[in-house]
Amino acid sequence: MSAALPMSDPTSPDLPETTAADEPTRVPLRLEDWLTVVSMALLALITFANVLVRYFTDQSFAWTEEFSVFLLIVMTLVGASAAVARNRHIRIEFLADGGTPQRRHRLALLGALAMALLFFVIAVLSVRMVWDHYIYEEISPGLGLPQWWYSIWLPVLSLAIGLRAVGRFHRLRRAGVQA
């Protein structure tokens, strides 16, 4: 059975009363939780301030779009890291949850390895992009800040997701096949 909750009627007796506790990890999942909360709070605050300024002055803060896009990307990648560690990532449940326990276990191992490989490749390739932003001294269009200040987080957070996937792989391998 998958750790993801089924998307059925919330009053169904099949759903648990509470969600299961997180599996123990070397790096606490609270890190991702807090980064997500801080990103969302800053995004809401910036957007609200921009709405107020537009309402009262018919002007807008030019920098809000730049920071909002940055915060949305950070929030997405941090949330993806937490989803990987909690086994709540997107998958085709018809394939992942069917078959024997051995098959499900092998697919879970394969999925964790494929995810780790994907995000390690993204991390390596995005380092080149960050390097180009740094070398060519590209600046952001809204505030004129160095573009690499924003893009450096893509390889960092992709590496974090890859490491969470490796951690998930090791926990699955140690646990063995569950009936």
Three-state DSSP class for residue 146: strand
Residue 81, burial from CB neighbour count under 10 angstroms (0-12, 13-18, 19+):
buried
Q: Among 13, 6, 2, which residue's Cα sits nearest to residue 111?
A: 2
Residue among 9, 132, 125, 146 at smallest CA distance from 66: 146
Residues 65-94 have pLDDT tens digits of 889 999 999 999 999 999 999 989 888 787
Q: What is the mean pLDDT of residues 168-179?
A: 87
**pLDDT, tens digit (0-9, with 9 covering 90-100), for 109-161:** 999 999 999 999 999 999 999 999 999 999 998 889 999 999 999 999 999 99
Torsion angle defined by CA atoms of residues 129, 134, 140 and 144, in that order, rounded to the nearest 10 degrees: 180
Distance spanning both ends of the chain, measured CA to CA: 9
Model confidence pLDDT, tens digit, residues 16-39:
333 567 888 888 899 999 999 999
Q: Residue 15's pLDDT band (boundaries 50, 70, 90)? A: very low
Residue 45 pLDDT > 70, yes or no?
yes
Tell me how far apart the alpha carbons of residues 50 and 62 are, in angstroms, rounded to a whole number.
9
Residue 167 has a pLDDT of 95
* Cβ atoms 158, 102 nearer than 8 A: no
Radius of gyration of the chain (CA): 20
